Structure formats: C-alpha cells, structure tokens
Amino acid sequence: MDVVNAFNTDYRASVQAKVLPDIYERVELARSLILSAVLDLYNEIDEYRDVTEQVKEIADAAKTTGETPTYHGVQNPVLKNIDFGSNPEIARMIADIPYEANDVIENRQLPTGVEYTKKINGGKK
C-alpha cells in the first residue's frame, strides 16, 4: 500500500506539475484566439451591415419595379459564402470543435487539416 499511496500522492503530483501547465496554457491560448476571432468576425459583420442593407433595398426595388425579373441576393461582404439563414462558415467551424475534440479523445489523432502544435511560438501573449 505504500507504493500505491506514493503513486497517488507524490508521483501523481509531480507528473501533473510537469505535464499539465503547458497543456493548460495552450488550451487557454486557443480559447482566447477562438473567442477573439468570433468577436472580430461579428464586429466586422456589424461594420458592413448598413451598406449591405442599403444594397438589399436597391435589389428589392429593382425586383418590385420590374427592372429585373428576379431578386438578386445580397449578403454581407464579410461572409464567405452565400448561405442565407445560417451561421457564417467560421461559426460552424467553431461549433464543430467539441465534436472534433471528442474524436481526438477517442481516436488519439488530429482531424485532417489540423496541424499539431506542441509549443506556443513567440512566447506568451
């Protein structure tokens, strides 16, 4: 029992002190980067909202007056793809992270297209 107790106290604590700080630092940085990117995305969407609405009104008027037989869709220029009624592509990518994290936990490998990063380049923040 002395071995078990030593493992559960001293050894376990020393491993955690060695392994976890770097992992927690990267998770905190990733969280900050992701949430900052979301904030920037939506601030940029808001920045171009007025001009987008003005162009939509022009498109509506063109259809209403018969200048064009069809409505021409207008979407905020910050958004990558025409995807009416859905979240921006970046928001969908972020929403997939918990599922991807679960896949990493289960399969012990990164999803295709994700680059493994062991160290945070450039030091702290």
pLDDT digits (tens, 9 = 90+) for 76-111: 898 876 655 567 778 888 888 999 999 999 999 999
pLDDT of the residue at 28: 93
Single out the residue of 58, 75, 54 nearest to residue 67, CA to CA: 58
pTM for the whole thing? 0.72
Distances 13 to 2, 16, 19, 25 between C-alpha atoms, Å: 16, 5, 10, 18
Single out the residue of 35, 19, 30, 42 nearest to residue 125, CA to CA: 30
